[in-house]
Amino acid sequence: MLNEYTLNDRDFHKISDLVAQKTGIVIDERKRAFVHGRLGRRVRALGLSNFAEYCSFLDSPNGHVEHGMLVNAVTTNHTSFFRESHHFDYLARTILPTAADSGVERKHRFRIWSAGCSTGEEPYTTAMTLCESRLPMDRWDCKILATDLDTNVISHATEGVYDAERIQTIPPDLRKRYVSMESDGRGAMNDALRSLITFKPLNLLEAWPMTGPFDIIFCRNVVIYFNKATQRTLFDRFADMLHPDGWLIVGHSESLTNLTDRFQLVGRTIYRRVR
């Protein structure tokens, strides 16, 4: 049973240090029970007797494969369609009309990055908002890049099929237009949305293969897991990846105050690059 595995201080610090090294995510003592529950399953799946053996396995020649499983296990992926809906209201009412009015300047190109996209609800919501906007999609080159550290959620997002209760937060009229109901009651995102989104695994602490520039970066409820130094570095990299007047949208409990001077607050957890 999982509760037979004891996670002592040494093993907990070994695991938390490895996660911080690989991802920048800070796991403090308050998360010990969470780590115990998530990684206890890995200990059992590998046929090991305890966390000490698991830590030894992580250091073994074959342990690098388990590093990915470790990261997937301890990553929190809480999301929903139209979560923090004011962001999508602002996208529809302010950002996209602004883009439409500057079509020539932007060369009719519009790029969005969903950084930390989890199981895909955020980029699919963004795609619905794009499709419903007055941006002439037939004459614009619009694309959404959606990335996440967790390869399991990227697979789920790419599949684009969600349980019935997950799609209930999509407004009924949009659900009717953009979701196809399957025989088992699940909802599949339609091709109009899929064609706009590219899903890729990406560790935000590592090199970014894309060159940008992006018009919008969504990075919501991600940086709360990083320390202040990592947040400062990340916000600076986001600024470099945005158009000079691009937008950065963060989560409801996140703020750029005292972390960077490259953005100006223009809405509720909505920032615009100023330099």
DSSP string, 77-128: ----TTTTTHHHHHIIIIIHHHHHHTTTTTTTEEEEEEET-TTTHHHHHHHH
Q: Which DSSP letter does residue 182 get? A: P
pLDDT band at residue 102, thresholds of 50, 70 and 90? confident
CATH 1.10.155.10 domain span(s) along the chain: 2-74
Encode 193-216: b = buried (16+ Cβ within 10 Å), e = exposed. Answer: beebbebeebebbeeeeeebebbb
Say how far apart CA 264 and CA 275 lie, in whole Å: 10
Residue 4 has pLDDT above 80, yes or no: no
Residue type, 39: L
Give me the CATH topology for the region 86-273. Answer: Rossmann fold (3.40.50)
Say how far apart CA 227 and CA 63 lie, in whole Å: 26
Residue 116 has pLDDT above 90, yes or no: yes
Mean pLDDT for the stretch of residues 77-91: 95
Residue 2 has pLDDT above 50, yes or no: no
Q: Which of the residues are catalytic?
A: 38, 148
Mean pLDDT for the stretch of residues 14-35: 93
Q: Report pLDDT digits (tens) over 177-224.
A: 999 999 999 999 999 999 999 999 999 999 999 999 999 999 999 999
Q: Report pLDDT digits (tens) over 150-177.
A: 999 999 999 999 999 999 999 999 999 9
What Rg do the C-alpha atoms of the chain give, in angstroms? 20
* Cβ-based neighbour number of residue 174 at 10 Å: 17
Give the bridge partners for 79, in sequence order.
Answer: none
Give the bridge partners for 273, in sequence order.
Answer: 263
The predicted structure's pLDDT at residue 1:
41
The predicted structure's pLDDT at residue 6:
86
Say how far apart CA 259 and CA 257 lie, in whole Å: 5
The dihedrals phi and psi of 83, each to the nearest 5 degrees, come to -65, 140
pTM: 0.89
3-class DSSP state of 170: coil
| Contact predicate 88/114, CB 8 Å | no
Say how far apart CA 101 and CA 63 lie, in whole Å: 53
CATH 3.40.50.150 domain span(s) along the chain: 86-273
The predicted structure's pLDDT at residue 11:
96
The residue ranking higher by pLDDT, 94 or 134, is: 94
For 241, the token pair is 């990846």
Mean pLDDT for the stretch of residues 10-29: 94
pLDDT band at residue 14, thresholds of 50, 70 and 90? very high
Q: What does pLDDT average to over the chain?
A: 94
3-class DSSP state of 199: strand
CATH of domain 2-74: 1.10.155.10
Q: Which DSSP letter does residue 165 get? A: T
